[in-house]
Structure 1
Amino acid sequence: MGRAEERRARQSAGRRAAPRRHPQSQAAGSPAGSGSQAGGRAPKAAKGRIRRLFTWRKMLGAFFGLCLLVIGGFAALYMSVDIPVGNDLAKKQSNVYKYSDGTLLARAGTVNRENVDLSKVPKKVQLTFVAAENKSFYSDPGVDIRGTTRALLNTLAGKGKQGGSTITQQYVKNYYLDQEQTASRKLKELVISLKVEREKSKDEILAGYINTSYYGRGAYGIQAAAQAYYRKDAQDLTVEQGAYLAALLQAPSQYDWAVAGPVGKRLVTDRWNYVLDNMVKEGWLDKAERRTMKFPYPKDPKGAPGMEGQTGYLVSLANAQVEQQLMKTEGLSRSEAAAKVEGQGWTITLNISRKKQAALEKAVKTQLTERLSPKRRKVDADVQAGAVSVDPKTGKIVALYGGKDYFSHWTDNATRRDYQPASTFKPVILAAALEQNATTQDGDAINAGTVYDGTSGRQAVDHGVKVGFGPPNEDDANYGPITVQQAMDKSVNSVFAQMGVDVGMDQVMATAKQLGMDTAGMQAVPAQTLGSMGASPLEMAGIYATLDNHGRKVTPSIVKSAEQPDRTVRMPDPIGGSVISRTAADTVTSVLTGVVDDGTARQSVANNPLRAGQQVAGKTGTSDCNRSAWFTGYTPDLVTSVGLFGEAAKAGGTGCDNEPIKQYAHVSLKGAMGGGRVNGGGTPAQIWAAYTFGVTDRATFDLNTDQGAAVATTPPPTVSDSPSDSPSESASSEPPTSAPPSETVTETPPTGPATQTPTTPPPPSQPTTTPPPTGGPTIRNPFEPGDQ
């Protein structure tokens, strides 16, 4: 054996002779008294194993391994996804719209698109789109990793679309992909965007973006949009006009000035300012030039064949409701939803009844438009009408009147929310009182028989403290002690102002929201008891339909079905759960029958020869300065809200607030049709009666209540000079011969002493002093053309 082998043998023998003992073996052989020491070593050994398992080297290795896996996966995805052929807009088809019985209503939505070379678009106009959507466009890699990751996670979590995209990503989505909101589509969008950035210049991408985006009015691309909104070619657009078109892309249907409501006009104005201010910050626009720029109001849309008359209003609302459902179910933005509906080959069947639609149009014609003569009376040109009719059991919109013609008045009067509903809001106050079991200042339960002080201008009080609100009644009429039923019949402002304080205005507005009113941004103040907020005939029809449906929520729907060749969109059920108790809803209905039989609607509705014994509930309303007049009424099977609105056809003169009148401003209806004041119990109620009594059969309310005019005899008035049985709610120019119903919401303090004296003293808790009222706010559209 050599020396080397011998040495290795000795070393091997030494290792075998001294084996390493396990700690547990040592513990087992240790003497008594050492157990605690040995037992304390086991946890340390376990911790040692955990430390050896999760060393920083292993964790770092796992992290880098995961990164390599992600990079490898993305590389594989990048290699497997090619830039597809652009989608073919020529394949888009017209939409077909049908009545509820399946007969054709309209065919609309042909694609309007014309590409234009970027060199034909002024440079500063190009920059408006960059400033609006992606300020870093010229320097970024074409993708927003953070925004895309956030959108991807939200999609996987079912939260819909959130986060922004670059211009490149939006171009890829418009031209190469579709609007589908899935994780795979978002990953494809990311990969294709990176490849497009490598193959195309920034100018080519920007040109593709502005030529494929949807601008509303059926216009795809900047050239079609320039013609649709400004009647000019893209090369002739100003910076201001370009900024408006760039602002439109966020929500084209909502931001179109011709049809936008006050909120839409405010939002698009803010967006327009945002675009130009960004251009200044980026050094693309001179600050002094920016200060001279004024908002470029677009021209009215050109009429598409087949959209004249009421058809355009019906189609627009149907599109809007389908778009809203797509936004909700597929997480689309407004612009994406609009692009996915218009001109996409939909067959949309409406809930509109041909018979009822024709009857509503005829009623407006015979009771209103045939009586208007703008050549003889300037005010007649300012009269606008809107109406919505709903089946309360199904929530279907069966008829709608949006204006005299879709081509001449693009704003839909049936859905506009910029006029006061006035006294048609009073049933909501009573509903809140009944639902909350509210009491008066004396602790008495509020119901149809509760007595209030009907003194005009009486200050409302809250536990002995005046709240600073004391509205006068119409024509400053005093009613003295009066029941809630009588106060509703005669629309006594002072009673409902106090009732609102008794119930609590926060509770009143909460009930309004539950019944279907959009209360966003509304203050819960006593002035709202006079209906001084904005509301649409569509909203009021939904609120009253909920009352008619015994408290079950009705959200009026115009769409019966929406189908494409390969799919069907499921529309939400218009009938929801109970939002107020049946007893509260039925009691309000019972009380409102008194308005028809004994109050402000008696002349036009109760005494109408077409009534034939039909049971009716409803409420009139006439707003401050006579700018709007309403009647919302219902039978057991049909609810219809009719509104007349004063809208200046031309600029000129001054309004009742002594302000210069601009075109489209809210103006008084007084003197229209050759009469005096236009009240809710006049023309609106006449339209309602002519329509309703022609399409409904006699039916009786099924009420679960022992209160109100429908189930109990109305007590006689307690004032010395009772209101006339024929209230001054008609469009008559003759002065009233007795105290008229207190219908109008007014801000004018009463003049002179009270003309009526109660035969009995008022309740002790109701002060009888009549300090000057503060009145309620007037809703004015702050974004009429010409305003900044």
Structure 2
Amino acid sequence: MGRADERRARQRGGRRAAPKRRRSSQAGGKSRIRRLFTWKKILGTFLGLCLLGIGAFIVLYMMIDIPEGNADAKLQSNVYKYSDGSIMTRDGEVNREIVDLAKVPKKVQRSFVAAENKTFYQDSGIDLKGTARGVINTLSGKGAQGGSTITQQYVKNYYLSQEQTVSRKLQEMVISLKLDREKSKDYILAGYINTSYYGRGAYGIQAAAQAYYRIDAEDLNVAQGAYLAALLQAPSQYDWATASDTGKKLVQQRWNYVLDNMVEMGWLDQGERASLKFPVPKDPKPSAGLGGQKGYLVEAANAQLARQLVAQGAAEDYKDALALVKRGGWTITLNIDKKKQATLENAVKEQLTSKLDPKERKVDANVQAGAVSVNPKTGAIVAMYGGVDYFKHYTNNATREDYQPASTFKPVILAAAVDEGAETQSGQPITANTIYDGTSERPVVDGGTKVGFAPENEDGANYGPITVQSAMNESVNSVFAQMGVDVGMKNVLKVAGDLGMDTEKLPAVPAQTLGSMGASPLQMAGVYATLDNHGKKVTPTLIKSVEHISRTVEMPKAVGEQVISREAADTVTSVLTGVVDDGTARRSVRDNPMRNGQKVAGKTGTSDNNKSAWFTGYTPDLVTSVGLFGEDAKTHAQTPLTGATGRLPGKGRVNGGGYPAQIWAAYTFGVQSKVSEFDLETDQGAAVEPPESATPSQTPTSQEPSETPTTEEPTEEPTTEEPTEEPTTQAPTQTPTTQPPTTSPPPSESATQEPEDPIDRFGDDDR
């Protein structure tokens, strides 16, 4: 017994204390548990875990960087608009168009904040409570549930995937914190509203505004913005067009919740709030797609934009530039006038395609039409017809360059003659009144030497002595073949290139005078637009303006410098009015009841073996080139148009003065109500009073010209094929047996009169 015990015993009267009882084993166990889980140990463990978690988070924060944006979240569509700003179509894998936040009205911006994250402008980018709840729910198998900030939702949409895992949630939190520190709130909000999914296949607020209200994001009002913000909670359930009664009730509640929050935050006046009515969205509209003419327009616009990107150094070559365009994000406004486009499409249908019957006539399946209409003062392409349907015939007939422009090239020869001040072989200036020998198959000569080229006139018609004006009216091949040599074929091709044709690699041979090179309606519209614009170069342009969130593209000017003299351009225009009023286009254009006195210049053309037929014509305000092309529906080889529609007289040729001119007239007179006149500075051609007498030129001839044009039909088809021998301007090795050039006799009275109407003579109205 110890001393303390003895002391206590003495104090109790000398009685010894009873021994203590041992605790039970159960009590001992509890005591050990208490000793193991003391509050100090629990607190220490908690603090240790917190420190461990903080340490782990610090490591994560240091290891995880803000990644590159998710490729799918970057995908955008390209948006194509008519000249008036209305949407034509979209093209791309994802219906998204990124818009700058500055274009979104402030109240609409704040409606998203009120709907999703009222503390957005004050928080650090994350909601710890909501994130913790999300992690716990994920671990327990309940899935992620709410609580994310706008920053976190943007990070999930743009930088991460949609998978529901703890690691993804932790990444989201770390990236959100970093993003909030490195970027502005406006940057994050813009990213959020541009990447979110709104239903109806619309990604981003711009696509959503179009999908639900058919307006741009910049035109949304606060009520509409609140609806789009409400949609984000459940896009499918809240789409008014497909929602159940319950869904409609829920979205209205959500809409009210958003607006009430805006009032609470001081972003919306209570009076304005009370006046707002639920903005019922429009019904879904099918995607415009690329069917019909839209595909041709989109592809042509993409090509023009790609060429411009290469020109300004944004891409190394055309292939890379086109890939950049198709990556998306472009808003491209075209010069296409909606009314003119519809009228052109209708003109082709009424004048041509409605008359084709491939089941009745095999050739009808081979008829392709293309057309381009240009404003000559601005260069704007206001309408384009590429084919029957983009998904039925992918080649754009308006831009293809594989068919001969035929006699529509003849005005280029005359333009070169006047611009160069050229003379005939005998030294006479070439004017509208110069007389040439119009005998069919007359050999072309240069300095008294035959050059190995003797083109046939259509149907072998012989015109004898004929003025340049009449030769243009009747499209006399022999006259313009000789004129091309008189001017010099290098000069002719140079002027053709200056006017807009692709002549750089063409050989300077007389056969080119028949338009034997390839050309497109687009090119020919540009050539004639330059003539219409008094010789100032017009480069037809499809694109009016281009917008991209990260690029600036300036389109080049469509109207350039003077490439031929005004006198030359105006002389050709004056002469071409005769083609309409007294020549091969008179039936379809001059006599059209819709003309109403409108001044018109133009030229027809029919190529070798009737594989193409053209009419390119213009008024002072509008130039349109229409081409018809024979293309085998299966092999795509060039084939004759002869016999198409089964309604053609005579030999059944499809001539430029027929369907092409009819399409041109139906379109042009259908869109031009104001009658206008050409302002010409020339004293030549059909548009001015002719002089009392014309001085005949000393044109070399190989045979005595006939006194009057023959009216007999030839036994052979007309041809513009090049001669079997290579044309040459070299002097022959032997002295020619023909006599030196002599002066053509002055035309007799019968020869100078207008030839018989070719409608009566040949059963058609074109050369």
Shorter-chain TM band: 0.5 to 0.7
The answer as to 2:544 corresponding to 1:572 is: no
Which one of the candidate residues 498, 502, 511 is aligned to 1:514? 498
Instruction: Write the distance in 2 (CA, Å) between the matches of 1:530 and 1:320.
Output: 30
- 1:628 maps to a residue whose letter is S
- CA separation in 2, counterparts of 1:495 and 1:704? 25
Structure 1 residues 307-340: Cα deviation after superposition (integer angstroms, max 9, x where no partner): 0000000111111111111111025122221121
Amino acid at match of 2:615: F
CA distance in 2, matches of 1:89, 1:520: 44
Question: Does structure 2 conserve the Cα–Cα contact (< 8 Å) formed by 1:347 and 1:563?
Answer: yes
State the secondary structure of the residue aligned to 1:330: coil
AA paired with 2:387?
A: G
Distance in 2, Cα, partners of 1:459 & 1:513 = 27
Given the alignment, which residue of 575, 581, 602 partners 1:597? 581
Which of 623, 632, 641 is 1:669 aligned to? 641
* Mapping for residues 97-496 of structure 1, pairs under 5 Å: 97-110=80-93, 306-332=289-315, 333-496=317-480
Identify which of 679, 704, 712 aligns with 2:681.
704
Deviation readout 1:69-128 (Å, 9 max, x if unpaired): xxxxxxxxxxxxx9974772531211111100011100112269xxxxxxxxxxxxxxxx
> How far apart, in 1, do the equivalents of 2:388 and 2:300 lie?
16
Cα gap change, 1:83/1:329 in structure 2, threshold over 3 Å: closer, same or farther? farther
The whole-number CA distance in structure 2 between the counterparts of 1:335 and 1:638 is: 33
Q: Is the 8 A contact 1:472 1:746 kept in 2?
A: no
Aligned counterparts of 1:763 and 1:708: Cα–Cα separation in 2: 27
Residues 737 and 442 from structure 1, CA distance in 2 versus in 1: closer, same or farther, beyond 3 angstroms? closer
Taking the TM superposition and a 5 Å limit, the aligned residue runs for 1:744-763 are 745=720
**1:716 and 1:377 mapped to 2: Cα distance?**
51
Q: Distance in 2 between matches of 1:716 and 1:458?
A: 26
Partners of 1:691 and 1:499 lie apart in 2 by 33
* C-alpha displacement of 1:384: 0.1
Equivalent residue of 2:306, what SS?
Answer: helix
User: Against the structure 1 CA distance between its residues 739 and 611, is the aligned structure 2 distance closer, same or farther, given a 3 Å change threshold?
Assistant: farther
**Candidates 666, 676, 699, aligned match of 1:690:** 666
Amino acid at match of 2:509: V
Question: Any idea what SS the aligned residue of 2:552 has?
Answer: strand
| Secondary structure of residue in 2 paired with 1:568 | coil
Q: Would the aligned equivalents of 1:621 and 1:744 in 2 still touch at CA under 8 Å?
A: no
Q: CA, structure 1 residues 748+378, in 2 after alignment: closer, same or farther (shift >3 Å)?
A: farther
User: What is the CA deviation profile of residues 493-545 of structure 1, one whole-angstrom value per residue up to 9, with x for unaligned ones?
Assistant: 00000000000000000000000001132111100000000000000000000
- The aligned length equals 462
Any runs of at least 4 consecutive aligned residues in structure 1 with deviations exceeding 3 A, and if so which?
Answer: 82-87, 713-723, 736-740, 742-749, 765-768
**Per-residue deviation, 1:743:** 8.5
The answer to whether residue 621 in structure 2 is matched with residue 649 in structure 1 is: no
Deviations, residues 278-314 of structure 1 (Å, cap 9, x unaligned): xxxxxxxxxxxxxxxxxxxxxxxxx996100000001
- Separation in structure 2 between the aligned mates of residue 714 and residue 351 of structure 1, nearest angstrom: 43
Task: Report the Cα distance in structure 2 between the residues aligned to 1:353 and 1:719, rounded to whole angstroms.
Answer: 51
Aligned equivalents of 2:70 and 2:449: distance in 1? 69
1:629 aligned counterpart, secondary structure:
strand
What SS is found at the alignment partner of 1:339? helix
Secondary structure in 1 aligned to 2:433? coil
CA distance in 1, matches of 2:668, 2:679: 19
State the distance in 2 between where 1:632 and 1:668 align.
20
Please report the RMSD computed on the Cα atoms of aligned residues, expressed in angstroms: 2.9
- Once residues 606 and 476 of structure 1 are traced to their aligned partners in structure 2, the CA distance between those partners, rounded to angstroms, is 26
Distance 2:550 2:314 in 1: 20
| Shift, 1:343, TM fit | 3.8
Q: Per the alignment, do residues 555 and 85 of structure 1 end up closer, same or farther by CA in structure 2, a change over 3 Å counting?
A: same
Going from structure 1 to structure 2, the CA distance change for 1:720 and 1:440 (only over 3 Å counts) comes to: closer
- Structure 1 352/455 Cα, relative in aligned 2: closer, same or farther at 3 Å? same
User: 2:464–2:708: 8 Å Cα contact kept in structure 1?
Assistant: no
Unaligned runs of 5+ in 1: 1-81, 113-175, 177-302, 651-662, 724-735, 750-761, 769-788
Aligned counterparts of 1:712 and 1:509: Cα–Cα separation in 2: 31
Letter paired with 2:293: Q
TM-aligned CA distance change 1:714 to 1:304, over 3 Å: farther
Native 8 Å contact 1:648 1:667 kept in 2: yes
- Please show how residues 737-776 of structure 1 align to structure 2 within 5 Å: 745=720, 764-765=742-743
- Conserved? CA contact 2:456–2:718, under 8 Å: no
- Partner amino acid for 2:515? G
Select the residue among 679, 693, 707 that pairs with 2:655.
679
For 2:678, the aligned partner's letter is: F
Structure 2 equivalent of residue 96 of structure 1: 79
2:610 is equivalent to residue 632 of structure 1: no
Structure 2: how far apart are the matches of 1:305 and 1:431? 44
| TM-score calculated relative to the size of structure 2 | 0.57
Could you tell me whether the CA contact under 8 Å between 1:423 and 1:744 is conserved in 2? Answer: no
| Kept in 2: contact 1:481–1:763 (CA 8 A) | no
Q: Report the CA distance shift for 1:305/1:638 in structure 2 as closer, same or farther (over 3 A).
A: closer
- Identity over the aligned pairs, expressed in percent? 66
Secondary structure in 1 matching 2:368 = strand
Matched residues in 2 for 1:331 and 1:581: separation? 36
Distance 1:766 1:649 in 2: 49
In structure 2, the CA distance between the partners of 1:426 and 1:588, relative to structure 1 (3 Å rule), is: same
Quick one: distance in 2 between partners of 1:409 and 1:703? Answer: 41
* 1:607 corresponds to which of 581, 591, 599: 591
Q: Distance in 2 between matches of 1:396 and 1:348?
A: 14
Residue 344 of structure 1, CA deviation: 1.8
Report what 1:199 is aligned to. none
CA distance in 1, matches of 2:645, 2:395: 22
CA distance in 2, matches of 1:504, 1:515: 17
The equivalent residue for 2:261 is none
CA distance in 1, matches of 2:637, 2:531: 33
What is the letter of the counterpart of residue 395 of structure 1? Answer: G
Partner of 1:124 in structure 2? Answer: none
Q: For the structure 1 residues 619 and 91, does the alpha-carbon distance in structure 2 shift closer, same or farther, using more than 3 Å as the test?
A: same
- Deviation at 1:442? 0.3
Shift of 1:721: 5.0
Q: After TM superposition, give the deviation of residue 470 of structure 1 in Å.
A: 0.6
State the AA in 2 paired with 1:548. D
Report if the CA contact (8 A) 2:453-2:723 is conserved.
Answer: no
Deviation for aligned residue 1:764: 2.1
Q: Would you say the 8 A contact 1:423–1:745 is kept in 2?
A: no
User: Aligned equivalents of 1:310 and 1:716: distance in 2?
Assistant: 51
Query: Which amino acid in 2 is paired with 1:711?
Result: V
Give 1:106's aligned amino acid: T
Q: Distance in 2 between matches of 1:402 and 1:362?
A: 13
For 1:441, give the aligned amino acid.
Q
Shift of 1:342: 1.3
